[in-house]
Amino acid sequence: MTWRRVLLVLAGLVVGSGVALGTLLAFGGGDQEATPATTTTTAPEAPPVTWVAAGEVALGPSVLVVEGLTVEGGEAVLAYSLFDLNPVAPGQLREPDGLTDVPLQRLTEEAAVAPEAWTLITAAGDIPGTTSGPRSRTARFSLPGGAMPEVLGLRLDRYWIRLPYSYEIGVPAEAVIELDEAYSLSIGRVIEQSNSTIVQIDLAIPGGFAFGGDPGALLLSVLGDGWTFTSGRTSTGLQLVHEAGPLPNPIRFPARSAYWVPFDRPIAIDPGVLHLG
């Protein structure tokens, strides 16, 4: 029995030595540098950056801020402000060959966005509302029975965005030049005087929401030598005065204005911004 125990002990020593040797060969000896432990850290997510604050509504290049909703004479009146984020002036005047008495500053004062159609969502049903024109900053809703029902929400259904442009155009005698849909320019009358010539330029413009109130309507000056006066744009066009002598043909104009593009994209507005009592 004793010799068996001795053999088992020797066998155990041999096996143990083999395991130790295999481990040493596989993972290296004690003299090898230990692999440093690594840890993974997660950086905190940056908060989203936006140029629209809570309660404000982004409309293209502008921000709409609702000021409040009140009742006046049986109507709900929504007051709001518009703030543009980019310049909206359509180019600069050419000098010294551009003759005009109308400053372009008026165009820069026009908003780039014009809300038109709204819906006031109430417990009594939806109430449509409208803004009268691009220069208005209110929308009106006719209230059934003249009283304000419980307001549940507000929606902007239709708005326009103004895209400035600037170009030059030539108007020949006895010709009508189409500037855009429902826009046209032509020479209406030529009145010759002893020392000058008066030229009436007729301008036809479209009607409707974005154009009827002259919201930065087409501005025209005249280019070339010999022109001594321009009236700026009138209700029907432009009156020019040329010194005695033949008129240039065509008469060249720099035209500056903006295209109004409608967007029928409903936008829900948080009723919390209406400041109801």
Q: What is the pLDDT along the chain (277 residues), one digit of tens a residue?
A: 444 444 333 444 444 444 443 443 444 444 545 555 566 656 566 556 566 777 789 888 888 999 999 999 899 999 999 988 765 554 444 343 444 444 455 555 677 899 999 999 999 999 999 999 888 899 999 998 888 999 999 999 999 998 877 788 899 988 888 876 677 889 988 988 889 999 998 888 777 787 765 545 577 778 888 888 877 666 677 888 999 888 899 998 887 777 788 999 999 998 888 877 5
CA distance 230 to 221: 7
13 φ/ψ angles, rounded to the nearest 5 degrees: -65, -40
Place of tokens 């007051």: 79
* CA 16 vs CA 8, 11, 19, 21: distances in Å: 12, 9, 5, 9
Nearest to residue 115, comparing CAs of 100, 90, 99, 132? Answer: 132
Q: Six-digit token pair at 156?
A: 């902007």
Helices (H), 28-158: 105-108
Q: Is the pTM of this model over 0.85?
A: no
Q: Identify any residues that bridge with 104 across adjacent strands, giving them in sequence order.
A: none
